[in-house]
Structure 1
Amino acid sequence: MDDIPGRIEHTVLGPLTAWEDVTEVLDAAVHHGMRACVPPCYVDEATDYASGVAIATVIGFPHGQHSLETKCTEANQVWKAGAAEIDLVPNLGRAAAGEIEPFEAELEEIAATVPVPVKAILEAPLFDDDQLRELAAVAASTDIDFLKTATGFTEGGATVSDVELLSEYDDVKASGGIGSWAFAKELFDAGADRIGASSGDVIVDQYREQTGRE
């Protein structure tokens, strides 16, 4: 596994996230060589504060029920503010109800709105394997760049089995409940390309302690 720290997105997305919380995450990202994922309202400041850190942010977060127009506006705004990647919550309620065409069209339009990678958050814990396969196949047929397991704001998080399933279709960001290098390694081994975690610094410290790598 090459450049483990560079595949970790150190994350702060809580409802009470303040600028001080964001700077702590950015300082840790700089120190450990990680990426960072911050709320959209702080992207402009974050890119100025830590210009060497690849900043991701979220749109339609956390439930995906914004209008498509709103999401496209959000995507355009955060890209112009300096976001290197965008994590999108699509309208999973429509998808769960069988409205697959609007789900696909939403992903296509948002991906076409910005010239940076977009990750579709599929909230894997809310779906059975057959449903998840359908969502993954549709998402992978669009210009979306990654499939992401979860927001961390619903019950359940990343699992090895969900990462294995999603990795059959596209690149995967595993997120939700990842607090140790041991678990992160399981997810990488299962096919994850990225890890999103509020414990990114802990994961990298444990990785270096256990492997002796930098």
Structure 2
Amino acid sequence: MTTATPDAIDDPRSLSLAEFAATVDHTVLGPETTMADVETVLDAAADHGMNACIPPCYVAEAADRAPDVPLATVVGFPHGQNTPEAKRDEGEDAWRSGADELDLVINVGRLRAGEDDLVTAEIAEVVAAVPVPVKVIVETALLSADELHRACAAARDADATMVKTSTGFADGGATVADVELMSEYLPVKASGGVGSYEEAIAMLEAGAVRIGASSGVDIVSGHPDA
């Protein structure tokens, strides 16, 4: 199963409960995550119509347990400092294990050093290796406005599907201003610090099309029809 990447949402508050839930990637990615934790997330995602985002080591088991839940996993997580070859191989393995989408962390150090061509090439290598959407995590809290523009341009030029704000492992998360900037380049997944329906709506109104959060149930439960 491959999740669809929607166009910008003109009126997020007009989304039905099912439409809104489909914008949420219910997430568990902490270093102590167990398969039992993943099962809890998968069950909640299935019950509420959300997607799930889980560690790569559990993808095969998760795909078997919940084949109807759109499944994302991470590549180069959380710091993005793996070699390009390692990221490519990790992405390909995750896809073959059953991932429907990949959330790939850029190498912030390379970007800050002005090596934008290397950042673009690394993303493109993963994109070329898999037939599923690749969302590029740019880690907005670590970037200046200029660096954020360049990171999003690299993702766009590498034919990535989306850009994503945060891993959740750096100080700070998604902001309206960052989402507005990022949406000039590609569809945006707002992740990091989004914990309620109203916060999610603010991100969607800023131009996001997807929300990543460990509190997906709380977010969806805030919908007026929940």
Note whether the superposition's TM-score is higher than 0.5. Answer: yes
Q: Distance in 1 between matches of 2:222 and 2:117?
A: 43
Indicate whether 1:126 and 2:142 are aligned.
yes
Q: Distance in 2 between matches of 1:48 and 1:183?
A: 33
Match of 2:173 in 1: 157
Alpha-carbon distance, 1:62 to partner: 0.1
Q: Secondary structure at the match of 2:94?
A: helix
Which whole-Å deviations, capped at 9, do the CAs of 1:185-213 have from their partners, x for residues lacking one? Answer: 00000000000000001100011xxx22x
Q: For residue 173 of structure 1, what is the amino acid of its counterpart? A: K
Indicate whether 1:137 and 2:153 are aligned.
yes
Match of 1:38 in 2: 54
Q: Secondary structure at the match of 1:37?
A: strand
Q: Distance in 2 between matches of 1:139 and 1:73?
A: 19
Which whole-Å deviations, capped at 9, do the CAs of 1:127-161 have from their partners, x for residues lacking one? Answer: 11121112112211221000000000001000000
Alpha-carbon distance, 1:71 to partner: 0.7
Q: For residue 51 of structure 1, what is the amino acid of its counterpart? A: P
8 Å contact from structure 2 (residues 111, 147) kept in 1:
no
16, 27, 43: which one aligns with 1:11: 27
83, 87, 93: which one aligns with 2:109: 93
Q: How does 1:35-184 map to 2 (within 5 A)?
A: 35-184=51-200
Which runs of 4 or more aligned residues in structure 1 lie more than 4 Å from their structure 2 counterparts after TM superposition? none
Fraction of identical pairs, as percent? 52
Match of 1:201 in 2: 217
Q: For residue 211 of structure 2, what is the amino acid of its counterpart? A: I
Match of 2:9 in 1: none
Which whole-Å deviations, capped at 9, do the CAs of 1:91-130 have from their partners, x for residues lacking one? Answer: 1111111111111110111100000000110001111112
TM-score by length of 1: 0.96
Structure with the greater relative contact order (CA < 8 A, sep ≥ 6): 1 or 2? Answer: 2
Aligned residues between the structures: 210
TM-score by length of 2: 0.91
- Consecutive unaligned residues in structure 2, runs of 5 or more: 1-11
Match of 2:5 in 1: none
Q: Distance in 2 between matches of 1:138 and 1:41?
A: 28
129-138 or 194-203, which deviates more: 129-138
Q: Distance in 2 between matches of 1:92 and 1:146?
A: 17
Q: Secondary structure at the match of 1:151?
A: coil
Give the superposed CA RMSD: 0.8
Q: Distance in 1 between matches of 2:154 and 2:89?
A: 23
Q: Secondary structure at the match of 1:86?
A: strand
